[in-house]
Structure 1
Amino acid sequence: MSGLPPIPIHATVIDLRSIAAAHEVPIVYVLDEYMRQHPHQEPAAHAQGVR
């Protein structure tokens, strides 16, 4: 996918939502790009240390 920056492997769902908003694309596009960049990882549900 073009136009999106490299997404950190430890990105949270909130990070992905922020990227989607900044690039004015649906979050599913950002999630798809995340999965392409990190095929064996899934985004963190929340920030580290937050329960």
Structure 2
Amino acid sequence: MKTLITLKIEKFEEKGQEYFVATSDQIQGLVAEGNTIEEVIDIVSDLAKILIELK
């Protein structure tokens, strides 16, 4: 079963390096960081499954 969640993805830059952080109001504790948007989405996919199972 697939569940759609809404993500808020923000772009940050620190010391010349950019990175992205994703959060969701729908899943408490969901915070993922990656170097690209694609990487963040991959991490969120795995993390969301774990957090949903822990509920």
TM-score (norm 2): 0.33
Which TM-score applies when normalising by structure 1? 0.35
1 or 2, which has the higher helix percentage? 1
In terms of fraction of residues, the more strand-rich structure is 2
Structure label with greater radius of gyration: 2
